[in-house]
Amino acid sequence: MPVKNKIKQYLDSRGITRYQFRKDTGVAQRTAYDLYDKPEQLPSPDVLRKICDAYEIQPGEILEWVKK
């Protein structure tokens, strides 16, 4: 099942920088930057929870299933 993250689009549409994303969520710098730069990188369940908690969103707002 091909899934990609839409974190870059989500953050850009709200004017949130990669640095602020890292600070808001408390995830490691490398993780935050990789999630922003690489749509094929998926967050671990713990990181996904941190993102959803920080921005009060559902996982579907930052993850997308795509056809092959």
Domain that holds residue 25: 3-65
Q: What does the pLDDT read at residue 13? A: 97
Q: In this predicted model, what pLDDT tens digit does every residue of 6-65 receive, in sequence order? A: 999 999 999 999 999 999 999 999 999 999 999 999 999 999 999 999 999 999 999 999
Total domain count for the chain? 1
Whole-model pTM over 0.85: yes
- Measured between alpha carbons, how far is residue 12 from residues 2, 9, 32, 68 in Å? 23, 5, 14, 26
Side-chain-side CA neighbours of residue 50 (13 Å): 15
Tokens 């671990």, located at residue: 44
User: Is the pLDDT score of 67 beyond 90?
Assistant: no
CATH number of the domain enclosing 47? 1.10.260.40
SS (H, E, C) 7-28: HHHHHHHCCCCHHHHHHHHCCC
Read off the pLDDT band of 1 (50, 70, 90): low
Q: What does the pLDDT read at residue 59? A: 96
40 CB-near residues (< 8 Å, 6+ apart): 4, 5
